[in-house]
Structure 1
Amino acid sequence: MTVDLDRLSLKELKSLQSQIAASIASFEERKKKEAVAELEEKARSLGFSLNELLGVAKSRRLAPGKPKYANPANKAETWTGRGRKPRWFETALKAGKSLDDLAI
């Protein structure tokens, strides 16, 4: 396919450029998927999973935590004790509340 680029407007050239970039990305993604499928099949034929051979551990998802603390000013605001402390929790602690005061 031959395209006379000198005859295209700037808008047409930019459109062509974005189409080419999308096509390249799509092509690369397809090739990666094909390679992974081929490697998984080879690993399976040898009695392994690809993750086992690569030493990749299965990710463990934590179950949603049960709330342990509640905002005394608004009982609908709760915190499980995991992750970053909510502002209301930190404010209550600074105001002299104890963990027992905030516990559900």
Structure 2
Amino acid sequence: MASYKQLTAQLEKLHKEVAAAREKEIAQAIAEIKQKVAEYDLTAEELGFTSKRAVGRKTASVAKYRNPKTGETWSGRGRSPAWLAGKNRERFLIEV
């Protein structure tokens, strides 16, 4: 039976072999993918990828309520502002 040190050395060697094999196969896969993309003139959108700029971008909320004294506005999303607490919100609606 192999000793702990021997097994640990074998395991480390296997980890290195696995990493090297993975890198080689990834490089081959990338080359094949690039060839197909060029061959069929594919775009990122056609492959189901979106622009990094569009990911996670939030749109601005439209103000629905306005404080007539300060001009401060609130979209109606999230926690209501202190100036609206306990008051009739309809009085503060912004008319469109």
TM-score, normalization by structure 2: 0.44
Answer with 1 or 2: which has the greater Rg. Answer: 2
Structure in which a larger fraction of residues adopt helix: 1
